[in-house]
Homo-oligomer: A and B are copies of this chain.
Amino acid sequence: MTYELYYWPGLPGRGEFVRLALEEAGATYTEMVREAGIATMMGVWQDSDIATPPFAPPILKHGKKVIAQTALILLYLGDRHGLAPKAEAARLWTHQIQLTIADCVLEAHDAHHPLGVDFYYEDQKPESARRAAVFRHTRMPKFLGWFEKILARNPKGDRFLVGGRLSYADLSLFHMVEGLSYAFPKATKRALVKVPRVAALGERVARRPRVASYIASDRRTAFNEDGIFRHYPELDG
């Protein structure tokens, strides 16, 4: 059964974490907004017949199931495509890591939107400068240090976040590091020196045949200043 993915057009955003899992799984999926326009997403989003209406995109439709919340979509896909361990403790640990990635991604977003999404960046530039400085100096190193630590402690070695096989969390960490490198190139370059396992994981994921093929394709949307990870030079340093 084909998956239907509904997400904002023109930016990688949180949809990208879902796309990477679908691509690595070799799953068949349709980007509904790209195929049928934004109205198709609003239709699903606002459909009054859905008993489990999504609060926000990304939204994955699979048969009759309508699932939102990025980490939950990945939990769902992980089980179906061997992108998470089957053993319960390891499966939940993978999800825990994903939830922590989500926390870091949100803080990266809030670096340019500390006053919330109802104001443009241009209307919160001084506030962004203060929050971004804390993110660069304190929060980003703290998050990256945690990922480095769990790689170092993985009893199966430091090639993957959980056990000895790729999980959706590895794909997401790769994308997060890519996003940080786009948004804060100077600060991220500095930070990655201290987390060599995280840096190496990112490079390995990028070389996986399906990931590499996806990145080279026109299915991949480049980072830009409409997304979560935005490059405003004044926020880097």
Contact = CB atoms under 8 A, between A and B. Distances in A.
A134 B115 contact: yes
A119 B132 CA distance: 13
Interface residues of A, number: 43
Nearest to A130: B115
A150 interface: yes
A72 B95 contact: yes
A131 B114 contact: yes
B53 A150 contact: yes
Contacts of A195: none
A217 interface: no
Contacts of A119: 130, 134
Contact of A69 (B68, B99, B138): B99
A76 B115 CA distance: 34
A87 interface: no
Contacts of A99: 69, 71-72
A51 interface: yes
Interface string A144-167: 001001100111000000000000
A72 B51 contact: no
Interface string A92-118: 110110011001001100100011101
Contact of A52 (B65, B69, B150): B150
A205 to B, nearest CB: 21
A71 to B, nearest CB: 7
Contact of A146 (B55, B116, B138): B55
Contacts of A201: none
A139 interface: yes
Given A67-B92, A72-B95, A55 B114 contact: no
A5 to B, nearest CB: 16
A135 interface: yes
B93 A52 contact: yes
Interface string A192-225: 0000000000000000000000000000000000
A127 interface: yes
Sorted nearest first, the 8 A-B pairs with minimum C-beta distance are: A69-B99, A118-B134, A114-B114, A55-B100, A115-B131, A69-B96, A116-B134, A52-B93
